[in-house]
Structure 1
Amino acid sequence: MRIDKIRLKNFRCYEETEIEFHPNFNIVIGINGTGKTAVLEALTVAAGSFFLGIDYAENRHIRPEDIRVLSTEFDINEQFPVEVETWGVINGQEISWLRELTGPKNKTTYVKALKIKELAKEIQSRVRAGENVNLPMVAYYSTERLWKERSDTTKISGSRLKDGYYNGLKATSNNKFFTKWFEKEEMVVLQQRKESVGLQVVRKTVSNCVDGCENVYFDFNRRELIMEYNDGRKLPFKYLSDGVRNTLATVADIAFRCAMLNPHLGEDAAQLTEGLVLIDELDLHLHPSWQKEIVNNLKTSFPKIQFIVTTHSPLILSTVQDRIVTMVDGKAYYSVNTYGRTANDVLRNVMATPERIEDVQDKLDLYFELIEVGEGLSENAMNLRKQLEEAIGNDDPELARADVLLAFYEDE
C-alpha cells in the first residue's frame, strides 16, 4: 500500500486542500492548530478503506469530530459534504477512491471505494486459500501511544489477517495484545527449545532501532516485558523513560505486525513488508541524540514502508531527504531540502521560528547596530554587552562574531 495524494473537503480545519506524498518518508510540520494531526486522521480514513474488504479489521469512518464547522455570533454550522479522496497503489495497482459523509444523520459512504474494497477481498480470499500473498502493514500511532495499562481480553488467534490488523487504526500501540503474543512465543521457546521466526524478527528489529538495546524478552516471574541493555542492565518496560518506552513500543508493534501479516517472509518480514505507518509527533519524549537517529533507524528497519509523520523537531527535519510538507492556512507547501542543515537554520528558515527569545535577540540586534556605526565601545554598547554576557554567556558565537566586527571597525 502507498498513498500518493489525498484531497480533503470540509474535513476538520480544511475547507478544501490537496496534499502529495513521497513514497518513502514524509514529515508534516506547522505551528499548533494548523491541522497536522488532522492530516493523519484523514489518512486513517483513506487507508482504513482497505479494511472494508477485510472481515476481521475495523475500518475508519468519518466521525462527527471530523466535520468542519463554521461559527458565527449566534450559530455553529456543520459543513457538508465531508470528503476524503485518495490516489495510491494497492497490491501493485494504481487506484483512487473516495469516502464521503453527506449529512449529519448519514453514514460514511463507500460506493466510490468499491475498487479498494474488492482488491482487499481478493487478497483475503487468496490468504484463506493458503497462498503466500504479501499483506500490506497499516497502522496509526497517535500522541496517546505510550504503554498505557488498559483492558484487552482479545486472544491471539493465529490468523494472519486477524492478528496483523488488530486495532491497527486505534491510534495507540497495542501493548496488551503485543505482550500477550510475546508471552505466548516465549512459552513456545521453553517447550520446544526453538525461537519462532516472528520472535526473531521483533527482537532483531528492536535491537537495530533502539539505541543500546541488546534484547527484549518476557519475564514469567515478573509477568512483564524486560529490556536488556548492551551493558548488561535489565529493566522492566514500566521503568524505562517515556522516550525509550515510546520508541520501543512503536518499533516493536510495527515489527510484530510485519511478522504476523507475512510469516512466509521469514526473518526478512520487517525488511520486505510494504505498507503505511502514520505517527503523530515522532519526537515525542525523545532525547535530541535519538531525534537525530530515529528517521534513519525507521527507514533502515522498514525500507518498504511509507511513513507519514508529524514533528516539531528541527533536528529530525535536518535528517530527512524525502519530503517536508508545511501546513499553512489550510494549504500544503513543500519545503526545500532540509537534509544536513543545522537545527538553527531549520528553525529560522523552514519553521519560521526565531532561534532566540525576543528580548535577547532585540539586544543583540541593537548591539550589532552600535558596532556597525562605530559606537561598539560606547557606554550604551558596553552595558548591552554586559547584559548579554549575563544572559547567554561570554562564549556565545554571536558575541564572538561581535568581537571580530569590533576589531575590524577599530582597524579602520
Structure 2
Amino acid sequence: MSSTIAELLRLTMSGNYIERVYAKEVRAFKEISVEFSKGFNFIAGENGVGKTSILAIISHCTNIRSFTESKFTENSELHFDAIHNNERIRCGHGEGSIKIGGYREDTLRLHNTPSDKGAENRRLLHAYELESKKINLSPLFIGAVRSISYLGLEGIKKENNKVHCQNQYRQASTMSLINGSGTSVKQWIINRYFIIDKGWAWEEKNNFEHFTSRLAKLAPFDSDFKYVDTGRDMEPVFELHGKKCYLEQLSSGFQSVLTIVTSIIEWIEKCNDEGSRDIRTASGTVIIDELDAHLHPEWQLRIRDGLEVIFPNVQFIVTTHSPHLIASAKENEVIVMRKSDDDTYDLKAESKSYSGWTTDQILKDVMGVKGLDNKLYAVLIDDAFDKLADKDIRALEESIVNLEKVTHPDDTICMVLRTKLAGLKAVSDEDIATVMMDTRGVVKSSLAARPTRGRVKSSLVARPTRGRAKSSLVARPTRGRARFDLTDKPAKEIEDETTEVTKPFDDLKVTD
C-alpha cells in the first residue's frame, strides 16, 4: 500500500465515531440499518416513526443492563460499526443473546458476538467486553428533558477514575434518553472556578476559556451572551443584552444549551486520559434526543454551528422536529425517516442541503406534517376569487379586507387580489365616463334640434312615461322661466348653459 493511500486511510479513520447501526426484531423494527457521517447527523421524520428508537438501539449496543426498556424477541440482533483509535469495531449483541421472560424481564442469556456479515476487517465485540477490556466506546446520551440542576453545593467533587466514568456513562445511557439528564451547571462552574488556577488543571483551564470565549456563538443573534465571573457568594454571573444576570434568571433555552455544552465538556474530561482532554481535539459520539427542545427558532438556526465551533471533532447524532434545524444542516447531514409499510428501513443521509427550502416545505416533505394548510385561509381565498369572477367590486373589497385580517402583510395572494380590484375599479370608472359623455351628447343634440318660436325657453324636466313606471329626461318648452335663448344668444353661451344642465350627471353611478 502506497504511503499516500495509507495516509488517506488514516485520516478517514482518525477519531472515534459510529459509522452504522443495525437491528433486527427490536422495538417496532423488523429490520433497520442506518449509516452516519463523521460530523452532524439530523434524524428527521413524522411523529411515531421511530427516531428515538434508533438512539435507544445504539444505547443497547453498549449497555448490557438496559433491555427492560425495549421490546425484543429471541431472534433479536443489534450492533453498531465504529471507528475507535484507528481500529474498525463491531459492537453489540448477536442473535440469541436475549432470553425472553415476563413483561419487561428480558435478560441476556448468552454473550453471542454480533454477526460477522459485512464486517470484513472488523473486530467483533459483545457489549460486556467494552467493560472487561477497558475499551473507551462510551457515547454521551442527552435526553429531551433538560434543565439546570440546582443541587446543594458540596464543594469540589472528587474526580472518578476514567474507566469507572466510562462504565457509568454506558449504564446510564438508556435512562438518560427516557428521563433526561445533565450536568449540574452551577456545580460545574463553581468547581471550575476553584481549580483552573492549579498547575495540574491546565486542560480544564483551556477548556473553560475556549467554552466561555465562544458562548456568543451558541446564543441567538445580537444577544451578546457572555460569562462574566463567579462572585464571592459562589453565584455565576452572565451578561445578556448588555445586562448582568444570574444563572437562575436565564431562559429555558439558555439553560438547555448550557446543560448540553457543560455535559459534553465533563464527558470528554472524565472519559479520556490526561493529555487527551482538550475539547478542541477530542472525538467521540454525542447523542441528543430533540436538540431543538426549548430553543427559539432563531436559536435553532445557530445551535449546529455553535456546537461545531466548540467541539470541532465530535460526532453528533440528534433527532429533531425543527424545520429550522434541518435548514441549518449541510449536505449529507439530514437522515429522513419515512414510515415503512413492512417496518424495514435502510437509511442514510440525503446528499442535498435544505437551506433554500421554506419552513412549510420542510414540514410537509421532510417531517411528514399533514393538513398544514389553514382551512379558514382557503375558504377566504375561494370566496375572494368568486367575487372577482363576478366582478362584484364592493363584495371583492370586503373579501380582501377579511383575508388580510388573517394573513401576513406581505401575503402574495392578497397582493394579487388588490391588483385585480384596482383593475376592476379602473374599468368601472371608464364605463361611467363613457355614459356621461353619451348623456351630454344626447342633451346637446336634443336642445339644438328643437324649433323655437319667438323667445321660447327650454328646460330639462323629468316626466313619467306610460306603461313602465320610470322617469325619463326630455327637453320640452316651458313657460315662465327662461333657461335657454336659442335665437338671440351666441352658440358658445348655449354650450355653456347646456353644460350647467348636465353637471348633475357627472356623479351618476351606473349599476346593473
Instruction: Normalising by structure 1, report the TM-score.
Output: 0.76
Q: 1:89-127 CA distances to partner (integer Å, 9 max, x unpaired)?
A: 1221222233242422552354316536698569849xx
Aligned length: 375
Give how far 1:398 is off.
3.4
Say whether 1:248 aligns with 2:263.
Answer: no
Q: Give, in whole Å, the separation in 1 of the partners of 2:412 and 2:273.
A: 53
Q: Give, in whole Å, the separation in 1 of the partners of 2:60 and 2:368.
A: 31
Maintained 8 Å contact 1:202/1:256? no
Compared CA separation, residues 64 and 382, structure 1 to 2 (3 A): farther
Structure 2 residue aligned with 1:160: 162
Compared CA separation, residues 239 and 4, structure 1 to 2 (3 A): same
Say whether 1:351 aligns with 2:367.
Answer: yes
Give how far 1:25 is off.
0.8
Q: 1:92 aligns with which of 73, 82, 86?
A: 86
Structure 2 residue aligned with 1:214: 226
Structure 1 residue aligned with 2:238: 228
Give how far 1:393 is off.
5.0
Q: Which amino acid aligns with 1:156?
A: K
Q: Which amino acid aligns with 1:188?
A: I
Give how far 1:242 is off.
0.7
Aligned 1:384-399 pairs, distance under 5 A: 384-392=399-407, 394-399=409-414
Compared CA separation, residues 2 and 199, structure 1 to 2 (3 A): same
Maintained 8 Å contact 2:218/2:307? no
Compared CA separation, residues 377 and 349, structure 1 to 2 (3 A): farther
Give how far 1:146 is off.
1.7
Q: 1:123-149 CA distances to partner (integer Å, 9 max, x unpaired)?
A: 849xxxxxxxxx666201101222245
254-263 vs 289-298, greater mean Cα deviation: 254-263
325-334 vs 86-95, greater mean Cα deviation: 325-334
Give how far 1:337 is off.
2.5
Structure 2 residue aligned with 1:72: none
Q: 2:358 aligns with which of 327, 332, 342?
A: 342
Q: Which amino acid aligns with 1:202?
A: F
Aligned 1:107-186 pairs, distance under 5 A: 107-108=107-108, 110-112=111-113, 115=125, 120=130, 124=134, 138-149=139-150, 155-157=157-159, 159-163=161-165, 166-167=168-169, 169=173, 170-171=175-176, 172-176=180-184, 179-186=186-193
Compared CA separation, residues 97 and 343, structure 1 to 2 (3 A): same
The structure showing larger relative contact order (alpha-carbon pairs under 8 Å, at least 6 residues apart) is: 1
SS at match of 2:89: strand
CA RMSD of superposed structures (Å): 3.7
Q: Give, in whole Å, the separation in 1 of the partners of 2:152 and 2:54.
A: 29
Say whether 1:199 aligns with 2:201.
Answer: no
Maintained 8 Å contact 2:142/2:182? no
Say whether 1:285 aligns with 2:294.
Answer: yes
Compared CA separation, residues 376 and 366, structure 1 to 2 (3 A): farther
Structure 2 residue aligned with 1:73: none
**Between the two proteins, what is the percent identity of the paired residues?**
20
Q: Give, in whole Å, the separation in 2 of the partners of 1:397 and 1:206.
A: 44
Q: Give, in whole Å, the separation in 2 of the partners of 1:40 and 1:183.
A: 32
Give how far 1:278 is off.
0.7
Maintained 8 Å contact 1:156/1:163? no
Structure 2 residue aligned with 1:19: 34
Q: 1:199-249 CA distances to partner (integer Å, 9 max, x unpaired)?
A: 330342244143333227555524x5x242266644332221111001011
SS at match of 2:279: helix
Maintained 8 Å contact 1:363/1:384? no
Compared CA separation, residues 404 and 22, structure 1 to 2 (3 A): farther
SS at match of 2:90: strand
Q: Give, in whole Å, the separation in 2 of the partners of 1:123 and 1:142.
A: 28
Structure 2 residue aligned with 1:272: 281
Q: Give, in whole Å, the separation in 1 of the partners of 2:152 and 2:31.
A: 39
Q: Give, in whole Å, the separation in 2 of the partners of 1:377 and 1:348.
A: 36
Compared CA separation, residues 319 and 185, structure 1 to 2 (3 A): closer
290-299 vs 329-338, greater mean Cα deviation: 329-338
Q: Which amino acid aligns with 1:339?
A: S
Q: 1:256-281 CA distances to partner (integer Å, 9 max, x unpaired)?
A: 22234254146xx1121111011111
Q: Which amino acid aligns with 2:206?
A: Q
Maintained 8 Å contact 2:364/2:372? no
Structure 1 residue aligned with 2:443: none
Instruction: Normalising by structure 2, report the TM-score.
Output: 0.63
Which structure has the larger Rg? 2
Structure 2 residue aligned with 1:187: 194
Q: 1:103 aligns with which of 100, 105, 124?
A: 100
Maintained 8 Å contact 2:225/2:241? no
329-338 vs 235-244, greater mean Cα deviation: 329-338
Aligned 1:2-41 pairs, distance under 5 A: 2-41=17-56
Compared CA separation, residues 137 and 66, structure 1 to 2 (3 A): closer
Q: Give, in whole Å, the separation in 1 of the partners of 2:163 and 2:257.
A: 25
